[in-house]
Amino acid sequence: MPAPIGEEQTRQDHQRLLDAAEALFYEKGIRAVGMDEVRAASGLPLKRIYRLHPTKDDLVVAVLRRRDVRWRGRLVAAVEAHADPRERLLAAFDWLAGWCAEPGFRGCAWINAFGELGPASPGVLAEVRAHKDAFHRHLADWSGAAGLADPAPVQLLAEGAIVTAAIADSPDPARRARAAVRAMLAGEPPTAGI
């Protein structure tokens, strides 16, 4: 009889599984990736994978949840490096532009997951909504601190920049969104071409 798997081994296996699944889902799409491909990439037997996450949807939720912690952590750290509230808000768009320029950028993992699974997976839908709510709360807090009464335009500019950057394969939409936010902060109308 095999020895029981300890906590550290379980943690390592889970990390390997999430690393492999996240890379595959983000690069190829959730529906395009079968569990055999996740098994091959992670090096874990299917039986072990299903012990860690009984369904593919459970695995997708775990991937999105872990990615959210890392993604928002990086965003917040970049923003909080600035003392001035207006610079903080603009720094969010600088960070988005940098993220959109990273090799392998394929857009927003949460929008992609929603686009693939929509309401068919309540767990994934809940995770997508939780991420977007948290991201929008950050933007609302930074907008309010910068003197903008309504954060909705900033939130829409950020979301639009992410989606458009993925389609255009360019960080320019995030830069144009930053310019529009800068104009809003100055009380100016956005210039043509933003």
List pLDDT tens digits, range 149-158: 999 999 999 9
Domain count, the chain: 2
Which of 54, 69, 96 marks a domain boundary?
Answer: 54
Predicted pLDDT at 122: 96
Does pTM surpass 0.85?
yes
* Shared-domain flag, residues 70 and 159: yes
User: What confidence tens digit (pLDDT) does each residue in 28-87 have?
Assistant: 999 999 999 999 999 999 999 999 999 999 999 999 999 999 999 999 999 999 999 999
Angle at 87 between CA 85 and CA 88, to 5 degrees: 60
CATH number at residue 67: 1.10.357.10
Contacts of 48 (CB under 8 A, 6+ apart): 13
* Shared-domain flag, residues 94 and 186: yes
* Shared-domain flag, residues 96 and 173: yes
* Shared-domain flag, residues 2 and 83: no
* Shared-domain flag, residues 84 and 48: no
Are 56 and 35 contacting, i.e. CB atoms less than 8 angstroms apart? yes
Secondary structure of the chain: what % helix, strand, coil (to 5)? Answer: 75, 0, 25
- The dihedral sign for the CA sequence 78, 144, 72, 94: negative
* Shared-domain flag, residues 69 and 24: no
Which of 29, 54, 79 marks a domain boundary?
Answer: 54
Rounded-to-integer distance, Cα 54 and Cα 57, Å: 9
Rounded-to-integer distance, Cα 59 and Cα 174, Å: 30
Rounded-to-integer distance, Cα 17 and Cα 57, Å: 14
Rounded-to-integer distance, Cα 180 and Cα 164, Å: 15
Task: For the chain, give the percent of residues with pLDDT over 90.
Answer: 90
* Shared-domain flag, residues 12 and 101: no
* Shared-domain flag, residues 106 and 16: no
Q: Which range of residues forms the domain containing residue 48?
A: 1-54
* Shared-domain flag, residues 24 and 96: no
Rounded-to-integer distance, Cα 56 and Cα 50, Å: 9
Predicted pLDDT at 9: 84
11-15, 89-93, 112-116, 190-194: which has the minimum mean pLDDT? Answer: 190-194
For residue 143 the two structure tokens come to 């907008």
* Shared-domain flag, residues 177 and 95: yes
Question: Is the pLDDT at 18 greater than 80, yes or no?
Answer: yes
* Shared-domain flag, residues 63 and 16: no
* Shared-domain flag, residues 31 and 76: no
CA proximity to 162, closest of 114, 110, 107: 107
Which of 17, 32, 54 marks a domain boundary?
Answer: 54
Question: Is the pLDDT at 194 greater than 70, yes or no?
Answer: no
CATH number at residue 48: 1.10.10
Predicted pLDDT at 7: 86
Contacts of 159 (CB under 8 A, 6+ apart): 108, 111
For residue 76 the two structure tokens come to 């917040």
